[in-house]
């Protein structure tokens, strides 16, 4: 049983037992709860935290946990918030109006009930996260001199140097700005490089978070199609000419959602076309540390082959470690870097120093490369298990080019539904059958060419659960 479900079950048991205690009466000690329910100290503390957040108990350090009194309902009249409808729509007549469609992002962040197999989340299951290494890194970081002092605005020099080495090529420490994860980096990049109302070229399909960031900044996403070899460079120059866009956002490695890797000849073309258009390429290199064990050597990032400052590189530690280690890097040169620094400093001042120190301790330890090797093996096994289950139960959804060929990485499969099948109906039926999958529509900036599903295999508890999840999906499709 996973830690998350154990916490939920213990919290439910304790919640049901609260009526045995009068208000202010002390509950059994943590040790007693551990022995009675055969759970770990972490499970007990997290279950108590759940009840404390609900207001059911009060935790007093050194004294114990006590039943809380009933909450007093507020007698105040409901607030009148209708004025906000006018205030938030005041710029609706100015093309394009800023809008924040968070549906695609929130879908990926939704925590499913324990009885639902999650083939939706893009994060690692806790069993795949380097929890011990993270805990040790956090403890060491807390003992570092000055760990709670204000960090440099650009980030800790040692962490910036590590990111520069990790990216390689022409990138130096002075080109790196530490940021609060990949999503924050994309937000800073688009707000810095494109004026409100401007077009921005995006892959089609693409990560919904990119579309959400662009629209929230008042930008107009313009799609450029992706095929099995990545971004269609034969259409890229036409898109730049037609729109006069000055920014392209792309994921050259293990693209989300298709998993495509940009072909070598197209890598050169992307840089050539962007340079000729006087445009920036925002390279979202989110999946580089999610390579599978059977993959050949990876191509270098576009930023490593770019001496002219065309590429603004985005790199994050979140995906291969933990959703809560929100530390990443933005890499740029010249006035673009100064613009990025200015926008980020206004938005958030800096990334908290304890988090940077923890990230530095993690990537500098021998546990980090060991974790990456273990993760590569686990992701390969999970991909193979998911593809095998699809071949048995839903072979018509697999693309002609096998997604199980060596060289893939990432954590997801992109499946096209048969003509006429409604993806919204399929995802709803799947959820009723006990498996969460992702509909394809949020991945398109314009009308999609068909119906699609994205299946993620990183957050399920085990390979066996992946097989069960695909079988539930097959039953839902009928």
pLDDT digits (tens, 9 = 90+) for 127-162: 999 999 999 999 999 888 888 888 998 999 999 999
pLDDT of residue 406: 42
- What's the whole-number average pLDDT of the chain? 87
45: confidence class by pLDDT, cuts 50, 70, 90: confident
- Mean pLDDT, to the nearest integer, of 256-272? 93
**Does residue 96 have a pLDDT over 70?**
no
**Does residue 378 have a pLDDT over 90?**
yes
Q: What is the CATH number of domain 3-67?
A: 1.10.10.10
Q: Classify domain 97-478 at the CATH class level.
A: alpha beta
365: confidence class by pLDDT, cuts 50, 70, 90: very high
pLDDT of residue 300: 93
72: confidence class by pLDDT, cuts 50, 70, 90: low
**Does residue 469 have a pLDDT over 70?**
yes
**Does residue 92 have a pLDDT over 50?**
no
**Ranges for all domains in the chain classified under CATH 1.10.10.10:** 3-67
1: confidence class by pLDDT, cuts 50, 70, 90: very low
Instruction: Please indicate whether residue 63 or residue 237 has the higher confidence score (pLDDT).
Output: 237
**Digit-coded pLDDT (tens) for 317-342:** 999 999 999 999 999 988 888 889 99
**Ranges for all domains in the chain classified under CATH 3.40.640.10:** 97-478
Instruction: Please indicate whether residue 386 or residue 90 has the higher confidence score (pLDDT).
Output: 386
**Does residue 3 have a pLDDT over 60?**
no
Asked if the bond preceding 342 is cis, omega within 30° of 0, the reply is: no
The percent of residues in the chain predicted with pLDDT above 90, rounded, is: 57
pLDDT of residue 272: 92
Q: Is 383 exposed, middle or buried (0-12, 13-18, 19+ CB in 10 A)?
A: buried
Q: Which residues contact 473 (CB under 8 A, 6 or more apart)?
A: 119, 393, 394, 430, 433, 435, 437, 455
- Calculated CA dihedral for residues 236, 284, 440, 194, nearest 10 degrees: -60
């Amino acid at each position: 049983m996973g830690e998350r479900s154990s916490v939920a079950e213990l919290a439910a048991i304790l919640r049901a037992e609260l009526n045995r205690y009068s208000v202010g009466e002390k509950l059994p000690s943590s040790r007693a709860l551990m022995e009675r329910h055969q759970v770990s100290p972490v499970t007990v503390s997290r279950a108590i935290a759940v009840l404390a957040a609900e207001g059911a108990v009060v935790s007093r350090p050194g004294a114990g946990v006590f039943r809380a009194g009933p909450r007093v309902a507020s007698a105040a009249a409901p607030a009148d918030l209708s004025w906000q409808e006018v205030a938030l729509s005041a710029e609706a007549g100015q093309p394009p109006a800023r809008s924040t469609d968070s549906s695609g992002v929130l879908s990926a962040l939704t925590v499913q009930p324990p009885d639902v197999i999650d083939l939706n989340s893009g994060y690692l299951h806790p069993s795949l996260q380097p929890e011990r290494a993270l805990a040790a890194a956090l403890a060491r970081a807390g003992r570092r001199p000055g760990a709670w002092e204000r960090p440099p605005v650009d980030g800790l020099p040692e962490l910036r140097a590590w990111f520069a080495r990790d990216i390689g090529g022409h990138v130096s420490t002075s080109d790196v700005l530490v940021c609060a994860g990949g999503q924050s980096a994309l937000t800073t990049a688009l707000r810095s490089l494109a004026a409100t109302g401007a077009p921005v070229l995006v892959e089609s399909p693409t990560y919904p978070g990119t579309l959400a960031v662009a629209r929230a900044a008042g930008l107009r996403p313009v799609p450029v199609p992706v095929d099995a070899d990545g971004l269609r460079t034969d259409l890229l120059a036409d898109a730049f000419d037609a729109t006069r866009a000055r920014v392209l956002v792309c994921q050259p490695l293990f693209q989300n959602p298709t998993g495509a890797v940009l072909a070598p000849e197209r890598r050169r073309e992307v840089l050539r076309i962007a340079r000729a258009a006087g445009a920036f390429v925002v390279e979202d290199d989110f999946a580089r540390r999610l390579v599978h064990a059977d993959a050949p050597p990876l191509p270098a990032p576009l930023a490593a082959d770019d001496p002219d400052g065309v590429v603004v590189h985005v790199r994050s530690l979140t995906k291969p470690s933990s959703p809560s280690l929100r530390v990443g890097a933005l890499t740029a040169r010249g006035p673009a870097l100064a613009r990025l620094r200015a926008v980020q400093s206004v938005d958030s001042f800096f990334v908290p120093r304890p988090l940077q120190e923890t990230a530095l301790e993690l990537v500098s330890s021998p546990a980090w490369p060991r974790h990456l090797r273990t993760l590569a093996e686990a992701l390969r096994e999970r991909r193979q298990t998911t593809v095998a289950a699809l071949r048995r139960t839903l072979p018509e959804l697999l693309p002609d080019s096998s997604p199980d060929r060596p060289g893939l990485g990432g954590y997801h499969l992109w499946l096209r539904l048969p003509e006429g099948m409604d993806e919204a109906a399929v995802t709803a039926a799947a959820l009723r059958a006990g498996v969460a999958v992702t509909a394809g529509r949020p991945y398109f900036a314009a009308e999609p060419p068909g119906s699609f599903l994205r299946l993620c295999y990183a957050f399920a508890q085990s390979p066996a659960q992946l097989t069960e999840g695909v079988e539930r999906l097959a039953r839902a499709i009928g």
